[in-house]
Chains A and B, each alone.
Chain A
Amino acid sequence: MNKNVKNYRNNPDKYGRFGDYGGKFVSETLMPALDELERNYKKIKNNKNFKAQVDNLLKNFVGRPTPLYLAEKTSKSIGGAKIYLKREDLAHTGAHKINNTVGQAILAKAMGKKRIIAETGAGQHGVATATVCALLGLKCEIYMGVLDTYRQSINVQKMKLLGANVISVKSGSQTLKDALNEALRDWVTNVRDTFYIIGSVAGPHPYPMIVRDFQSIIGKETRKQILNLESKLPDLLIACVGGGSNAIGLFHPFLNDENVSMVGVEAGGKGLNTGLHSASITAGSIGVLHGSKTYVLQDGHGQIKETHSVSAGLDYPGVGPEHSFLNDTKRVKYTSVNDRQAVKALQYFSQKEGIIAALETSHALAYALTSAPKMKKNQIIIVNLSGRGDKDLQSVNDFLENKQTCR
Chain B
Amino acid sequence: MTLIDTIRKVNKEGKVCFVAYIVAGDPDIHTSYKILESLSKNRVDIIELGIPFSDPISDGPTIQKASERALRNKVNISNALNMVKKFRLNYKTPIIIFGYFNPFLQYGLKKVMQDIKKVGAEGVLIVDLPPEEAFETQQAANHAELELVYLLAPTSTQERIDLVSRLSNSFIYLVSVTGVTGVREKIDKNLRNIIAKIKKKTKKPVCVGFGISKPVHVNQLKKVCNGIVIGSAIIKIIEANLSRKERIIGQISNFVSKIKKATFI
Contact = CB atoms under 8 A, between A and B. Distances in A.
Interface stretch (B34-42, B84-92, B101-109): B101-109
B239 to A, nearest CB: 15
A301 B155 contact: no
B129 interface: yes
A64 interface: no
B160 interface: yes
A188 B132 contact: no
Highest count of chain A CB atoms <10 Å: which of B127, B128, B152: B128
Nearest to B61: A171
Interface in A360-397: none
Contacts of A287: 102, 105-106
A181 B155 contact: no
Contacts of B160: 28, 31-32
A27 B58 contact: yes
Given A188-B178, A287-B106, A303 B54 contact: yes
Given A15-B132, A24-B133, A302 B103 contact: yes
Interface in A133-190: 171-172, 177, 181, 184-185, 188-190
A302 B107 contact: yes
Nearest to A23: B133
B49 interface: no
A291 interface: yes
Interface residues of A, number: 36
Contacts of A26: 128, 130
Contacts of B101: 25, 288
Interface string A22-42: 011111111111010000000
B57 A181 contact: yes
B155 A302 contact: no
A304 interface: yes
Interface in B153-169: 153-157, 160, 164
A23 B136 CA distance: 14
Contacts of B179: 29, 185, 188-189
Contact of B103 (A30, A190, A290, A303): A303
B189 to A, nearest CB: 15
B78 to A, nearest CB: 8
B64 A171 contact: yes
B68 to A, nearest CB: 8
B106 A301 contact: yes
A235 B23 CA distance: 53
Contacts of A171: 64
Contacts of A15: 132
Interface in A296-312: 296, 298, 300-304
B81 interface: no
Contacts of B155: 28-33, 191-192
Interface in B12-36: none
Chain B: interface size category: 35 or more
B185 interface: no
Contacts of A28: 130, 150-153, 155-156, 160, 164, 175
Nearest to A27: B58
Contacts of A172: 54-55
Contacts of B141: none
B76 interface: yes
B209 to A, nearest CB: 12
Contacts of B237: none
Interface in A319-357: none
B95 interface: no
B71 interface: yes
Interface string B88-128: 00000000000001111111000000000000000000011
Interface in B46-92: 53-58, 60, 64, 71, 76-77
Nearest to A183: B57
A302 B127 CA distance: 15
B180 interface: yes
Nearest to A305: B54
Contacts of B157: 32, 35
Interface in A4-63: 15, 23-33, 35
23 contacts: A24-B130, A25-B130, A27-B128, A27-B130, A28-B130, A28-B160, A31-B160, A32-B157, A32-B160, A33-B155, A172-B54, A177-B55, A181-B55, A185-B179, A188-B58, A191-B155, A192-B155, A287-B102, A289-B102, A298-B106, A301-B103, A301-B106, A302-B105
Interface of B: 53-58, 60, 64, 71, 76-77, 101-107, 127-130, 132-133, 150-157, 160, 164, 175, 178-180
Given A25-B133, A28-B152, A288-B101, 7 more contacts: A24-B133, A29-B155, A32-B153, A188-B180, A190-B178, A288-B105, A301-B106
**Which 4 residue pairs are nearest across A and B when measured between Cβ atoms?**
A302-B106, A302-B103, A29-B153, A189-B179
